[in-house]
């Protein structure tokens, strides 16, 4: 029960602070499945779609051999 609450709280934080999350090294280290799940959320807050496009391009270029 506590783990589920923690996971939900973390997801809400990421949704509300998505632009800041995109700037972290941890974002670049995400696997494709996790990245897809984050981008699929209807709750993320970004100024416009271009922010998402730029972030995905940076993610793809970070370690192209593993993407």
What is the mean predicted confidence (pLDDT) over 15-32? 95
pLDDT band at 29 (very low <50, low <70, confident <90, very high): very high
Average pLDDT, the chain: 93
How many whole angstroms from its chain centre is CA 66? Answer: 17
- Residue pLDDT, tens place only, 48-62: 999 999 999 999 999
Q: Which tokens sit at 16?
A: 């509300």
In this structure, whether the domain defined by 2-66 belongs to CATH 1.25.40.420 is answered with yes
The CA-atom distances, in angstroms, between 39 and each of 6, 7, 8, 34 are 20, 17, 16, 9
- Residue pLDDT, tens place only, 35-50: 999 999 888 989 999 9
User: Residue 1: what pLDDT?
Assistant: 77
């Amino acid at each position: 029960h506590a783990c589920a609450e923690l996971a939900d709280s973390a997801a809400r934080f990421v949704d509300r602070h998505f632009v800041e999350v995109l700037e972290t090294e941890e974002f670049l280290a995400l696997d494709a499945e996790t990245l897809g799940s984050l981008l699929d959320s209807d709750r993320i807050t970004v100024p416009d779609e271009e922010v998402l496009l730029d972030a995905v391009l940076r993610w793809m270029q970070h370690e192209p051999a593993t993407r």
